[in-house]
Structure 1
């Protein structure tokens, strides 16, 4: 089976970890400033201290743009792409202290005479490499690239930016083969919890100095330094999935520096760890129901059919060459196809094969999500994802608390419920550093209007999160745009959303709050 799934799916918000007022106001200036003023973050409304001002040795950096090297196991980006690094403080509370490199990639605006500035991207994860992903999906942003320099970056703790490393490929493969992600016995539960503890210990051994500093707050402060180094008076930014949390955090810290920000596939800023798991249980089941209905199958019956297959794999994994298709890997393969409606035929084929005893298709899909290549090499995205998520979140569920969630979560989804209930426990329970807060801050009084795009059938960041983000940003700031459709992210899949975002980013045109896009049409109204 040939897998053709949009590359940005590799950087989705963390499922399968070890898996309303009218917006008004003028548009931001389209004129770039070559020497922007040095700024510090505003004092957050949550009482957290503002970071000290950055020294001129950091704000005065000028990137040395050079031809990009090929990523490991990949192709070198085209000659139009240039790469550079900038230094940021390891600890923003000590800006004169140690620094770490942040990797950047850039394609300059096609029409330099009409250039607005830089447009920075974060495709999600957390843990996705913008340096790798942006060139792969740049054709989706060709229109924006006429007037913006398209800029990707690896956030701190990710890949080329002092990427967190927690375990070897062999350790990763062994965990996939032996750890039951929905433990049914005391022995399986002990193995599950020990694996999570071992993962955390591996991170502490290999990346101890960085782990306390991989928060989204720290990355948002890096973003503002990158803005200054690139010579932009305001930050223009496109965040997808986890990238919306980063964008909301930036707006909270630096409301006066907000230029044109787009948040697509929005993380609910009001949800804690359990809340996110509950939302994703609902969201993935909703997407699965829509898939089943599209095939003429009743959602309840179809879900039970898939749940039976998973239970069968839990008892007896399918042999695929020298590997096994476990329940957890099958669940991963099912979930990845729900990120876009165009991928649903892959799910139909893979499920049919698995029901006939052939697990190769679902395993290939799981490998795609887990970023495992044919030689058994895994990327470190899952390492970075956990480091960032656990540094952010102060909630630490116990095994007993996770088990107490299972009946509710199974009612919400017979397919995904048990996994996502258990996921609340193992993820950060043994993490070696404390998390920053239970939920992120996104209030941004005084910021320019920010587009908040939610898709009604989004599995990983359900639509309700966009509503919450628009409200949290504040009246006149968060501008909700609703995409009635399927998939994780609307830009590039909905012509209406794409046109709306392009008009905002290129011309400063802010749509009415509550604009709705459906089947290529649009209507306004809250």
Structure 2
């Protein structure tokens, strides 16, 4: 979830595509051909980089799917996929497909990095992930070059006054024009409903009768939409760090603002227990961070030939709150910045926004608005956007903002509410995992998604961080693996302590 970067893409030029955001009907489509798995060098990114690979067994491939499912015989696009073949000698259970979130995260780049935490699962399953349509190697939405993206991602969010609003609006009019010019025909078709249809094509292409699936963050919405469209094709499905697809832009912004503020306060509390480098007590540490952000808004820190702006510093701060494991690095990064050294905070920001050292960008920051805005028909007014920002700033001066509503209000293609309604009636059991300390997908969304699905069981994780399955919690990993491998559904009301 990238709400914290709202100022990057706040307001875009008005205009709507005449193409439908989602096809009204799905025509008859022939069964897909099997995927020709081969070396991962065959699916390099546009910048020439192949995905990271830990061992020679990792394979990659492509799958052709309709650009527009209402015209199944028409133009096709290629989805990029990655597979970690099963390693065990016992009976193989098929495949598990992963989506690691976003929307906009590259599954091809992420699965291999997560392999070590999935060793048990890999003994029985092939592990598969993919770049969803509009992401990276799968007709990824690209809107500007490195220099242009640098301008957008470095925009300040503080202070929230007429100047920052005007600067954001002007920058994002340029961004919108670049998206329309460079992303082209894919924009109307990147929504979650189409991505779910793509997943069923993947299921068929790998030869599985049922889709076994692990979705994290945005991946929970993708899984929920799949289970709604194809309930009889659902195998063993786990939805970790769930979204509530029904929330409005305002509700999402305020919930996430509370989540990040809570995680920030937990970080400060943890920090001051042992001679915190940014302040002797929680109040002092918070004041120092707030002063740092205000100073950066007035005068950015030089970092080589770049600058650490307030906008980038806030992004780096938020990025490190996603996991307790990064809190020590965040403490050092903030301490360095307070002493005039911005390299560490800039590194955190670059990791979050998908900027490489050579100045090129992944599609994280462009796929996200493209998918988010096409997945809803909601288009807030300017008054509603400002009201949202005012309410969010009361919750948190550091993380409050207008959210994605300002950007989607003027996104250049129409949206559809189809992906906001889920009901998996008739599916196999689904396991939903919600974390009490999750900053990006607040726990309150977990029971709501569970209820909407009708066939789901909720597991509560008491720890911090975004996502529980890969958090290091043996309890959560045990429950998930027991379901995916043995089909054992967790008991109603199951709870796991913090790792």
Same fold, TM-score > 0.5, yes or no: yes
**Structure 1: segments with no counterpart, 5+ residues:** 1-11, 20-47, 521-526
TM-score using structure 2 length: 0.90
* Deviation (angstroms), 1:495: 0.7
For the 8 Å contact 1:227–1:234, the answer to whether it is kept is yes
**Counterpart of 1:251?**
227
Out of 245, 257, 273, the position equivalent to 1:269 is 245
**Counterpart of 1:4?**
none
* Deviation (angstroms), 1:254: 1.0
* SS of equivalent residue, structure 1 residue 303: helix
For the 8 Å contact 2:296–2:308, the answer to whether it is kept is yes
Deviations 1:357-383 (A, max 9, x none): 222221121111122222212212211
- CA RMSD after TM alignment: 2.0
Pair 1:450–1:351, CA change in 2 (3 A): same
Out of 105, 123, 142, the position equivalent to 1:146 is 123
Matched, 1:191 2:191: no
Out of 373, 395, 420, the position equivalent to 1:440 is 420
For the 8 Å contact 2:95–2:128, the answer to whether it is kept is yes
**Counterpart of 2:322?**
339
CA distance in 2, matches of 1:395, 1:218: 19
Matched, 1:460 2:440: yes
**Counterpart of 1:315?**
298
* SS of equivalent residue, structure 2 residue 241: strand
* SS of equivalent residue, structure 1 residue 345: helix
* Deviation (angstroms), 1:303: 3.5
TM-score using structure 1 length: 0.86
**Counterpart of 1:6?**
none
* Deviation (angstroms), 1:429: 2.7
Out of 469, 475, 478, the position equivalent to 1:491 is 469
Pair 1:220–1:309, CA change in 2 (3 A): same
**Counterpart of 2:5?**
16
CA distance in 1, matches of 2:82, 2:394: 45
For the 8 Å contact 1:341–1:487, the answer to whether it is kept is yes
**Counterpart of 1:479?**
457
Deviations 1:424-477 (A, max 9, x none): 444223211111128712211111111100111011111111111111111xx1
Matched, 1:386 2:391: no
Pair 1:187–1:518, CA change in 2 (3 A): closer
Q: Which moved more, 1:429-438 or 1:148-157?
A: 429-438
CA distance in 2, matches of 1:332, 1:482: 28
Q: Which moved more, 1:379-388 or 1:108-117?
A: 108-117
**Counterpart of 2:264?**
288
* SS of equivalent residue, structure 1 residue 125: coil
Matched, 1:517 2:490: no
**Structure 2: segments with no counterpart, 5+ residues:** 10-21, 273-279
CA distance in 2, matches of 1:145, 1:51: 37
CA distance in 1, matches of 2:28, 2:316: 45
**Counterpart of 1:125?**
102
* Deviation (angstroms), 1:51: 3.5
CA distance in 1, matches of 2:315, 2:281: 22
CA distance in 2, matches of 1:298, 1:391: 45
CA distance in 2, matches of 1:342, 1:502: 23
* SS of equivalent residue, structure 2 residue 434: strand
**Counterpart of 2:485?**
506
**Counterpart of 2:66?**
89
* Deviation (angstroms), 1:414: 2.2
* Deviation (angstroms), 1:490: 0.8
**Counterpart of 1:325?**
308
